[in-house]
Each structure stands twice: as structure tokens, then as C-alpha cells.
Amino acid sequence: MRRLRYRVRAVAMRSARVGALVVLSTLVLGSPPASALPRVTPANCDFGKISNAALLACNLEGGQIACVKSGEAFCCKKNDIGGQDCEAIRVGGRPEDVEVTLGAILQSTQTTARLLQQLTVKVDALVSSQGEPSICTSVDFVPENITCPASPGGNLEWTAYNEGSSETDAQGTVASTKFDTLNGPVVVHTNIPPLAAGGSAIVKVPIPAGCNGCTGTVAVNTTNSATPIELIVSNNIASFKCLFIQ
């Protein structure tokens, strides 16, 4: 009996000691928190504010982008104990330096390629134009100073002017004067000697019958036979109207 009472007393003392330790640990460590951690889920994410570089890096590491309701984003990966480890990533603001650098390099490369293409087109055009006349080396004839006579018996006078380079053809060019008379159009051709750069020639044409208040036109290089070739011909024609007092 003495041995049994001893054992019962020992067990009771041991149980009391364990209970005291539990109470002490509760007082020292405190009770476990009653609130749960914020829920992290992809549904809370605004992926427009997360850079492509961050998305790609998380996927390559086997993770998934998830966010809390306040907007903070995390790259979450499963761990060995069935849970997940989440690492905060940047949301909004300036993209990562790597993304900025790659974008700048790509844009610079595209700009360089475009400039090289434009340069190639210009070089090809320059090569193909070698030996062809240019505006700087061609003649440019212009009719000027059209003057009607005081009476039908006089001459219509005007000037053929070369505002381009010197003409090298010894035969010169042909100028034309057309009168729209009551009897129909009357055209008079006049040979113009070779004109140097800035040179001119006076053209005099008698007024034909039936040209009282008639209109007409004057034209230079009408046969387009000038040498060098005349490239600008839109200014080769001018109009006139003559009225005579009877």
C-alpha cells in the first residue's frame, strides 16, 4: 500500500507540474492571433500596373502573380510543406531598368534601320541619275514683256529670256506666237539664236488681219529642241490680249 500511494502521489505531482508549465507558457508567449493573414489571389491584381518583366520572371521561376485587396502584388511559389512562399514585386511607377533598357535598344535599332533604308534609296537614286541633266545644268526659257502696238498695223513684241544655264546648241530654238483672230487662229514661228545664261532675244510679230481685241499666246522652245534639255517647261507659255482704238 505504501508503494502504491507513492506512485499515485508522484503521478499527481507530475500532472500538476505539466499544467503549470502550460499556464506559464501561455502567459509568457501569449495566445495565438485570432485574425487570419490577408488573402492573396490573382483576382485582386490589376495586371495593367504590373510590368511584363515581372510577370515573365515570376513565370520562369514557376510562380504565380497574386495580390491582396489593397493592390500589393506578390510572386507566390509552392513550398515543400503544401503552402506557398510569396515575394513582393513592384506595382505601377517606372518599369524595371532592364525593361527600359531593352525598349530603348529596340527603338534605337528600328530607327537606325529606317535611316539606313532611306539612305539606301537616296544613294540608289543618285547612282541612277548620273549622266542625266539636272535643273542646275539645264536651260530655262521664259516669255516676258509682252507689248501690244498702238494700232493694228504695228508689231506684237515680247522677250524670250533664258534664266537657266547657257544653251550649247548652235541652232538655237523656236518661239511661237498665236493670234486668235475673227478668221481663226494665226500662228507665227520665229527662230531664236542660242541664248547664254541670263541672255534674251526680242521677238517681233506683225498683227494679222482680224485681230482687233483678239487674244493669243506666246511660247518659247516650242519644239523642245534646246541643248541641254529644258526640264522646266511649265513656264514656257504666256497669254495676251490686244485692243486697238479705231
DSSP conformation letters of 20-51: HHHHHHHHHH-PPPSSPPPP-BGGG--GGGS-
Q: What is the pLDDT of residue 121?
A: 74
Report CA Rg, the chain: 50
Q: What is the pLDDT of residue 205?
A: 92
pLDDT digits (tens, 9 = 90+) for 113-166: 888 887 877 666 665 555 555 556 788 889 999 998 888 888 999 999 988 888
Q: Which three cell numbers stand for residue 83?
A: 503552402
Which domains, ranges and CATH numbers included, belong to the chain? 37-100 (no CATH), 135-241 (2.60.40.10)
Q: Which three cell numbers stand for residue 127?
A: 547612282
170-192 average pLDDT score:
89
Q: Is the separation of the CB atoms in 233 and 219 below 8 Å?
A: no
Q: What is the pLDDT of residue 33?
A: 46
Q: Which three cell numbers stand for residue 176?
A: 511661237
Whole-angstrom distance, CA of residue 177 vs CA of residue 219: 7
Whole-angstrom distance, CA of residue 146 vs CA of residue 158: 4
29-33, 46-50, 90-94, 223-227: least confident range: 29-33
Q: Which three cell numbers stand for residue 178?
A: 498665236
**pTM over cut 0.85:** no
200-220 average pLDDT score:
88
Q: Which three cell numbers stand for residue 139?
A: 536651260
Report which of residues 21 and 162 the model is more confident about: 162
Q: Give the whole-number percent of the chain exceeding pLDDT 90.
A: 11
Phi/psi of residue 105, nearest 5 degrees? -65, -45
In this predicted structure, the answer to whether residue 32 has a pLDDT above a threshold of 50 is no
Report which of residues 104 and 174 the model is more confident about: 174
Q: What is the pLDDT of residue 225?
A: 76
Contacts of 226 (CB under 8 A, 6+ apart): 139, 141, 167, 169, 173
pLDDT digits (tens, 9 = 90+) for 62-100: 888 889 888 888 999 888 887 888 888 877 655 445 555
Report which of residues 102 and 114 the model is more confident about: 114
DSSP class of residue 212 equals: S
Phi/psi of residue 75, nearest 5 degrees? -100, 110
